């Protein structure tokens, strides 16, 4: 059984309730996790609040040492983390080892370094006889909710900057993917104990949406941070408003990939397919919405269909597997529903069906002939489905790209540098990639606009989101 981790101890839910944890490759129960209620949330918040003064007052170097040690243990125990994550998500084992563990470790180390840069921007005399000082301080206890698409990586994006800044944490993983987060809790707890810090600095509470609601509405946290759906983000923002908690939201996406006539079509198709199908398309930045110039539409479509049909979905241990199953039965139903409801003018160029009769596998799919107001263009599918529209002018490309409610990520594919620069200015998205899609660096911010939320993950901007600014003025 996967248990909560509160104040340095693994605990079952106070009332003994549990949730089934499903293997998405088979659709069968493989374990259970704690289904936490108000008593469990109270205990976790109490532990985090009690630990906060000592952790806040620890030197930046001491907090850095903890995070660096955690990163080292992640490397040493990578096989355990990969196994836990893959069992919950069906992710390919080789892909986890190559594409997720290294950046996760790097991101922890980045924030370990950031811990020692918690400083004000200036000090000086702005009124006669008075000196002003700016202090950057941790906000306090932070309630965090991680999603099921990247359970391990999103947990790191949450706890690493929060702990580096001096906050204490209560983190809830998704009810469908708790395994790697529970393992992480044990690792962090061991490091905190080893280095002499309070056990309540980091806590994990497993549970469902109700558990998350209890965390956000709890009076103890000064901040709530979530990566999840737009609906969940709206609920968190509304709940947090009751006592004016700070809120950090990374929500949905509908990333356009704009392909101009001068682009390397084979390279663009390969890059877009890789970014669209990675993690079964369950990625808010996935290249799911292609806008291609009409002059190269057919040629590009040939290349994209070739890339799609060459993409293998299968079991985690199969070295040929590019992506595994969708995360859960509900997600399989959602993706299938978008395809079942396609309008008559749409054409399925590849895929468009479930794979096998066990688990939640879905074929790499390409859909063409779509219009801007079609449901599948306007709403997030969150599956291995890439749509294709054509455009005639740069202005129309911008209109189509920006003509959705999401604004997280986008890409432009062209050999024309001036056009790329114009498009990067005009595209209303938090990230614009040029001739690539999906690359992330710990030093660069990740976050969107509009319904994609607000606040930044990664980078110094993400670190600062977990701090507050205080002005101190003293008479000379």
Q: CATH number for the domain including 111? A: 3.40.605.10
Question: If we measure between CA atoms, which residue out of 68, 389, 448, 443 comes closest to residue 230?
Answer: 448
Regarding pTM above 0.95, the answer is: yes
Enumerate the active-site residues: 250, 284
The string of pLDDT tens digits covering residues 189-223 is 999 999 999 999 999 999 999 999 999 999 999 99
Query: Are residues 223 and 260 located together in one domain of the fold?
Result: no
Residue 133 in any domain: the answer is yes
| pLDDT of residue 120 exceeding 90 | no
Q: What angle do CA 362, 18, 74 make, to 5 degrees?
A: 65
Residue 24 in any domain: the answer is yes
The helix or strand, by DSSP H or E, that contains position 366, with its residue range, turns out to be: strand 365-368
Query: Are residues 231 and 373 located together in one domain of the fold?
Result: no
Residue with tokens 């969107």: 448
Over range 20-41, report the average pLDDT.
98
Residue 447 in any domain: the answer is no
CB contact set of 196 (below 8 Å; sequence gap of 6+): none
The pLDDT, as a whole number, for residue 227 is: 96
Query: Are residues 329 and 464 located together in one domain of the fold?
Result: no
Whole domain around residue 291: which residue ranges?
256-442
CB contact set of 219 (below 8 Å; sequence gap of 6+): 243
Query: Are residues 280 and 164 located together in one domain of the fold?
Result: no
Compute how many other C-beta atoms are within 10 angstroms of the C-beta atom of residue 20: 13
With b for 16 or more beta-carbon neighbours within 10 A and e for fewer, the 291-323 pattern comes to bbbeebbeebbebbbebbeebebbbbeeeebbb
Over range 440-467, report the average pLDDT.
97
Could you tell me the CATH number of the domain that includes residue 343? 3.40.309.10
Query: Are residues 215 and 277 located together in one domain of the fold?
Result: no
Query: Are residues 207 and 269 located together in one domain of the fold?
Result: no
The string of pLDDT tens digits covering residues 274-306 is 999 999 999 999 999 999 999 999 999 999 999
- Number of independent structural domains in the chain: 2
* Summary mean pLDDT of the chain: 97
Query: Are residues 247 and 264 located together in one domain of the fold?
Result: no
The helix or strand, by DSSP H or E, that contains position 111, with its residue range, turns out to be: helix 101-114
The pLDDT, as a whole number, for residue 119 is: 77
């Amino acid at each position: 059984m996967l248990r909560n981790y509160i104040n340095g101890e693994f605990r079952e839910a106070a009332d003994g309730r549990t949730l089934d944890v499903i293997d998405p490759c088979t659709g069968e129960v493989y374990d259970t996790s704690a289904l936490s209620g108000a008593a469990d949330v109270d205990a976790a918040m109490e532990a985090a609040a009690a630990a906060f003064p000592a952790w806040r007052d620890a030197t930046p170097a001491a907090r850095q040492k903890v995070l660096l040690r955690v990163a080292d243990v992640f490397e040493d125990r990578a096989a355990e983390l990969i196994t836990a994550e893959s069992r919950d998500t069906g992710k390919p084992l080789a892909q986890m080892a190559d594409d997720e563990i290294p950046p996760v470790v790097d991101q922890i180390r980045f924030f370990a370094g950031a811990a020692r840069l918690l400083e004000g921007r200036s000090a000086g005399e702005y009124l006669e006889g008075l000196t002003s000082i700016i202090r950057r301080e941790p906000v306090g206890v932070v309630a965090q909710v991680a999603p099921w698409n990247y359970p391990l990586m999103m947990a790191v994006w949450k706890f690493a900057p929060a702990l580096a800044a001096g906050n204490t944490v209560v983190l809830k993983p998704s009810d469908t993917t708790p395994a790697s987060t529970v393992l992480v809790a044990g690792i962090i707890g061991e490091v905190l104990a080893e280095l002499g810090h309070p056990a309540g600095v980091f806590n994990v509470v497993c549970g469902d949406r109700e558990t998350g609601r209890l965390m956000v509405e709890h009076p103890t946290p000064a901040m709530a941070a979530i990566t999840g759906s737009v609906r969940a983000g709206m609920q968190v923002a509304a709940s947090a408003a009751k006592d004016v908690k700070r809120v950090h939201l990374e929500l949905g996406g509908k990333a356009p990939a704009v392909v101009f006539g001068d682009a390397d079509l084979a390279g663009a198709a390969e890059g877009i397919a890789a970014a669209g199908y990675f993690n079964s398309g369950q990625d808010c930045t996935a290249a799911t919405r292609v806008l291609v110039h009409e002059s190269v539409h057919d040629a590009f479509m040939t290349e994209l269909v070739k890339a799609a049909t060459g993409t293998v979905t299968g079991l985690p241990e199969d070295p040929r597997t590019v992506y595994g199953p969708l995360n859960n039965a509900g997600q399989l139903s959602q993706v299938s529903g978008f395809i079942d409801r396609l309008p008559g003018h749409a054409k399925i160029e590849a895929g468009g069906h479930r794979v096998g009769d066990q688990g939640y596998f879905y074929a790499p799919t390409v859909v063409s002939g779509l219009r801007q107001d079609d449901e599948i263009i306007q709403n997030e599918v969150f599956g291995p489905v890439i749509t294709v529209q054509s455009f005639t002018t740069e202005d129309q490309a911008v209109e189509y790209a920006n003509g959705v409610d999401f604004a997280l990520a986008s890409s432009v594919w062209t050999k024309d540098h001036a056009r790329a620069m114009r498009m990067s200015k005009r595209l209303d998205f938090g990230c614009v990639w040029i001739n690539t899609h999906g690359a992330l660096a710990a030093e660069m911010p990740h976050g969107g606009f509009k319904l994609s939320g607000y606040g930044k993950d990664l980078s110094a901007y993400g670190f600062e989101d977990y701090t507050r600014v205080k002005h101190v003025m003293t008479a000379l």
